[in-house]
Amino acid sequence: MPYTAEISRSNPACLVFLVDQSGSMKDPFGSGEVPLRKADFLADVVNRTLHDLVIRCTKAEEIRDYFHVAVIGYGRHDRGVVAAWAGALADRSLVKVSEVGEHPARIEERRKKVPDGAGGLVEQAVRFPIWMDPVAENGTPMCAALQQAQQVVAQWVADHPNGFPPIVLHITDGESGDGDPTADGNAILGLATSDGNALLFNCHLSSQRAAKSQFPSSADGLADPFARTLFAISSPLPPTFAGAAGEMGLAVTEGARGFVFNADATELVQFFDIGTRPANR
């Protein structure tokens, strides 16, 4: 059965976060009194996911290199597609999770509401590591971004032919600005280790233009042409990932794909939780 390879220090796995940083990411996102920009919320979710990954890989006060991670941003100023790490990891491609844990760009203090023991909530200061800053500039070179991810995945597969298949989590809020991304998405899906094909999951952030869709098994209900394009280059959910979605109360049917269209804040967090499911193993 595919997607069952052991993840260990001698046989690590690969996670690629492919992040839209185009100008439209300045748009508001969420329903709070003061909604964050899409870019700000997405950066927070990526940073929180990286922090969780470091914690999951920490055993006996040692960060074990079960994962290598890439963070790729696209659309930012005149550089197009770049490694989106901030600080000491800037311009690095794949980074071992131990290096991630050791080199946050900075530590911010955030406020978090926690139970006070008497039925209420109280604010508490928490340390929040930052590895990626929010960026929202220029166009949407999605094809170039997928090509960059494909190069990372291809090298990983060549170096780890028996590893857990690489996972690419792609988050965007718009249509491709440099052509049809189908061929470039399929190039990623066509790469494989002995344990299965590389996984490409796509999440489109809400702009309230069409009905939402979360892990569908068919494109029939997708009215938006670009939604159908992203669905076609999204991997079927392997059993472990489908099980994670079910545990969150999502109605996932047979053939469901790693695709979310018009995601809101909650659905974006769920997308990351499900897409990084091997980190729980």
Among 32, 78, 10, 47, residue whose Cα is nearest residue 265? 32
Following CA atoms 200, 72, 56, 39 in sequence, which dihedral angle do they give, to the nearest 10 degrees? -100
8 found inside a domain: no
User: What domain range is 70 assigned to?
Assistant: 13-280
* Alpha carbon 180 to chain centroid, angstroms: 21
Give the global pTM: 0.93
1 found inside a domain: no
Q: Which carries the bigger pLDDT value, residue 138 or residue 149?
A: 149
What percentage of the chain exceeds 90 in pLDDT? 74
pLDDT score for 174 = 85
Question: pLDDT-based confidence at 135, cuts 50/70/90?
Answer: very high
pLDDT score for 79 = 65
pLDDT score for 5 = 93
Q: What is the CATH number of the domain that holds 60?
A: 3.40.50.410
6 found inside a domain: no
2 found inside a domain: no
Residues facing residue 44 across a β-bridge: none
Question: pLDDT-based confidence at 281, cuts 50/70/90?
Answer: low
Q: Distance between CA 223 and CA 235 in Å, rounded?
A: 20
Tens of pLDDT, residue by residue over 76-87, are 666 689 999 999
pLDDT at 33 > cutoff 70: no
Tens of pLDDT, residue by residue over 259-278, are 999 998 899 999 999 999 88
Mean pLDDT across 101-115: 85
Q: Which residues of 169-198 are buried (b: 16+ CB within 10 A; e: fewer)?
A: bbbbbbbbebeebeebbebbbebebebbbb
pLDDT score for 29 = 82
pLDDT score for 112 = 72
User: Is the torsion defined by CA of 240, 58, 124, 108 positive or negative?
Assistant: negative
5 found inside a domain: no
Question: pLDDT-based confidence at 223, cuts 50/70/90?
Answer: confident
pLDDT score for 109 = 86
7 found inside a domain: no
Question: pLDDT-based confidence at 31, cuts 50/70/90?
Answer: low
Which ranges constitute the DSSP H helices of 71-214?
A: 97-102, 142-159, 182-189
Q: Which carries the bigger pLDDT value, residue 110 or residue 190?
A: 190
Tens of pLDDT, residue by residue over 40-95, are 999 999 999 999 999 999 998 899 999 999 999 998 666 689 999 999 999 999 99
Domain count, the chain: 1
Contact between 250 and 216 (Cβ < 8 Å): no
Mean pLDDT across 205-230: 86
pLDDT score for 149 = 98
pLDDT score for 197 = 97
Q: Distance between CA 52 and CA 90 in Å, rounded?
A: 20
Mean pLDDT across 192-205: 96
The pLDDT mean for the chain works out to: 90
